[in-house]
Amino acid sequence: MSWLRRKLTGLPEGFAGQLDPNESVAASGTSGGELVVATSLGLWLPGAERLGWHLISKATWDGSALTVIAAVETGTAGSAVLLTDQPPRRLPLEQPGKLPQAVQRRVTQSVVDRHRHELPGGGAWFVRRRVPGRDGTILQVRPDAGADPTAVAALAEK
């Protein structure tokens, strides 16, 4: 990335990822000497992996570390996307800057509506979210472990 582009986007020196043309930096910090960067499209983790804001189920800040629970898309049910949460990733931040606040704000702003339904064997969260860089919203379903997949799919298709 050119020096001018880094200057214009606010991207810190040493960033290993490749920003999209319309992607802008909101905040950055360091974890284990590596950059963690919040942008308009998602959270860049060490190793140049970007998580879209719509795929972050939960992010918490305890004053020294940012813990992120990301979700992966595992299928569809009607127009809904089925999600499964991944194990939490704990990122101790030596220099947090405004990163924790930026992450909290972006994740919260991605959620338009959410509600929970109890189903046989467990429940499921139904979350309508904005996807960065796209118009409109998507419906995501995050079932509890043990929830009846047929019941989840039937409810999502309504």
Global pTM?
0.88
pLDDT at 48 over 90: no
Each residue of 104-123: pLDDT tens digit?
A: 999 999 999 999 999 888 99
Which residue pairs from 117-120 have beta carbons closer than 8 angstroms and sit at least 24 positions apart in sequence?
A: 117/155, 119/143, 119/147, 119/148, 119/151, 119/152, 119/155, 120/147, 120/148, 120/151
Q: What is the mean pLDDT of residues 63-67?
A: 97
Please state the rounded mean pLDDT for residues 54-74: 97
Q: Where does the pLDDT of residue 16 fall: very low under 50, low under 70, confident under 90, or very high at 90 and above? A: confident
Q: Sketch the domain layout of the chain as residue ranges.
A: 3-156
